[in-house]
Amino acid sequence: MNASLAETPSLGSSWPLWRRQIVGILRLEIKKNFLSKRALPMYLLAAIPVVILMMLAVFDRGMQRGVRTNLSQAFIVFSNLHEGLILRTVIFFGCAWIFMNLFRGEVVDKSLHYYFLSAVKREVLVVGKYLSGLIASCTLFLLTTIGALFFLLLPRGLQANLDYIFDGPGWAQIVDYLGITILACIGYGALFMVIGLFFRNPIIPALLVYGWEWLNFLLPPMLKKISIIHYLHSLVPVPVNEGPLAIIGEPTPSWIAISGMLAVTAIVLGLASVKIRRMEIQYGSE
């Protein structure tokens, strides 16, 4: 009876096998994340900050002058924009869209069972899907961050910018902003993948998280730490003033902020794996 088994090409052992499986998942998912109709809102969101800074750079005389004469003031403006618009809004909703759709989208399309019927551990599927979301969100929102920085610095002219980047603090600052963008995708991505798995209608939990993240500055230090924006906020190279109502906690050192974020992400992914192991295929009324 094992004639057909004997023909089955061997798949080899765990780690190399899982790596190949993840590559296989990425092949499918990255195409979907970037090219499907669902990707459109993501592109629109990602363009918003860039368009705003482009308009300012082109049309706003005051801004142009400010950037030329007082760069540190300009970076305070940029930090606020980066946190308020890029992190809290664009990346937040962009990740919500991308990561909540990783599994939900396939339930809507009734195609998730093809994964579930493949000889792949569901944990490997979680990791593959999550990585595909990270690749999509990081690519896009890094471009957003770079584009926004580009238009911020544009009015200063080439030479001044080269000096700023290579002889001044520019390089480190830019790397910081990009790093924060990546961390935001890692954190919000894991969070929203799990929300998408646990809630039938994930909009309301997502909005609750949104509110929580905005009110974070009002919270006592203990509660502050249960959030993603808190850690991102601690890492911003040019501090953002949270306003007169803010309760000032101890600033979290950056190594704690980063490892804390990664730890929380790992826990959240673990949760997702448990959930996905128990998940049943019920696409609704047939």
Partner 1 sequence: MEAAINIPINSTAQASVATEQMIIFEDVSKFYGEILGVNRVNLSIAPGITSLVGPNGSGKTTLMNLMTGLIQPTRGRVKVLDFSPSDPEVYFRHVGYCSQFDSFPAGHTGYEFIYSYLRVQGYGKKVADQMTWQALERVGLTEPAKRKVAGYSKGMRQRVRLAQSIAHHPTVIVLDEPLNGLDPMARADAIRLFRELANSGLHLIISSHILHEVNAMSDRVIFIESGYVKAAGDVEGVRNELEEHPLQILVRCDQPSTLAARLFQESHIVEVRIHDDRMGMFVKTRNTDMFYELLHHAVLEYNLNIETVATVDNDLNAVYHYLIGARQEGE
101 with 34: CB under 8 angstroms? no
Amino acid at 161: N
Nearer to partner 1, 22 or 149 (CB): 22
The binder of partner 1 chosen from 70, 110, 175, 254 (CB under 8 A): 110
Instruction: Collect all residues with Cβ–Cβ distance below 8 Å to 37 and sequence separation of at least 6.
Output: none
Minimum CB separation from partner 1 for residue 39, in Å?
12
Nearer to partner 1, 68 or 110 (CB): 110
Site membership for partner 1, residue 147 (CB under 8 A): no
Nearer to partner 1, 23 or 226 (CB): 23
Nearer to partner 1, 40 or 256 (CB): 40
Smallest Cα–Cα separation from 165: which of 149, 180, 181, 179?
Answer: 149
Helix (H, G, I), strand (E, B) or coil at 212: helix
Site membership for partner 1, residue 9 (CB under 8 A): yes
Nearer to partner 1, 28 or 77 (CB): 28
Structure tokens at 31: 């195409």
Minimum CB separation from partner 1 for residue 21, in Å?
5
Nearer to partner 1, 3 or 245 (CB): 3
Instruction: Collect all residues with Cβ–Cβ distance below 8 Å to 213 and sequence separation of at least 6.
Output: 88, 92, 227, 228, 229
Looking at residues 251 to 280 of the shown chain, list those that interact with partner 1 (rule: CB under 8 A).
Answer: 277-278, 280
Structure tokens at 229: 């924006």
What is the Cα–Cα distance from 226 to 5, expressed in whole angstroms? Answer: 51
Q: How many CB atoms lie under 10 A from the CB of residue 164?
A: 17
Residue position matching structure tokens 């601690």: 234
Looking at residues 17 to 76 of the shown chain, list those that interact with partner 1 (rule: CB under 8 A).
Answer: 17-18, 20-21, 23-25, 27-28, 32, 35-36
The binder of partner 1 chosen from 111, 241, 254, 259 (CB under 8 A): 111
Smallest Cα–Cα separation from 150: which of 26, 50, 69?
Answer: 50
Binding residues for partner 1, rule: CB under 8 A, are 1-5, 7-9, 11-12, 17-18, 20-21, 23-25, 27-28, 32, 35-36, 106, 109-111, 113-122, 124, 277-278, 280-283, 286
